Structure 1
Amino acid sequence: MSPIANTKRVTGGFALIDSLKRHGVKHIFGYPGGAILPIYDELYRAEAAGGIQHILVRHEQGAAHAADGYARATGQVGVCFATSGPGATNLVTGIATAHMDSIPM
């Protein structure tokens, strides 16, 4: 039997959330939107199982700055989610700030 026949099929959302859990991520800051909803479905399952906690923000820019602040305060990786288009562009300033200061985000 080929190795492919024995592999489990997973979604991209599952693979992402599973990878974040394996890397010790405990908190994700974000604002849901259409393009990212499959990832939020998996995040909901992970949170219900006692895994990663999602912190809902009022604006995508707040997610990036919260993830930056979280990383600075804890030394852990800060993670933020936003949908495509304007949601993603609203993350840019916070991500750039973290990048310029070598913050793990």
Structure 2
Amino acid sequence: MKLTGSQILCESLLKEGVDVIFGYPGGQVLPLYHTLTQYPALRHILVRHEQVAVHAADAYSRVTGRVGVCLATSGPGATNLVTGLANAYIDSVPMVAITGQVPRTMIG
């Protein structure tokens, strides 16, 4: 069976024991959002801003001891994760940040 990149990502997250993803949808991650509907074991928590996603994933990890996962689109969506990721990094909090990216032909 041929899997899409989004399906491979979801399968990988499940194999690592991930059950919650905090995120905010945007253009370049919409295929992943469509795929998430096929994986009910991955609970998506919709936030109102990417910074909320990263800080919620940080808090989730600190409280549960499990990896925190946040999801944002490309460009400003991705850069909105930086402060929260730096905070988690400094405190050695396990986090995974997933961001979208535009095709190479659209860069620049």
Fold conserved (TM > 0.5)?
yes
Residue-by-residue CA offset, 1:16-72 (whole Å, 9 max, x unaligned): 01100111101000000010011111112112xxx1100000000000000000000
Distance 1:55 1:44 in 2: 13
Match of 1:13 in 2: 6
Alignment root-mean-square deviation, CA: 0.7
Could you tell me which runs of 5 or more consecutive residues in structure 2 were left unpaired when the two chains were aligned. Answer: 96-108
Which structure's residues are more often helix, by fraction?
1
- Structure 1: which 5+ runs fail to align? 1-7
2:21 is the alignment partner of 1:31? no
Query: Which residue of 39, 44, 51 maps to 1:46?
Result: 39
**Given the alignment, which residue of 85, 89, 98 partners 1:95?**
85
Q: How many residue pairs get matched?
A: 95
* Percent identity of equivalent pairs: 61
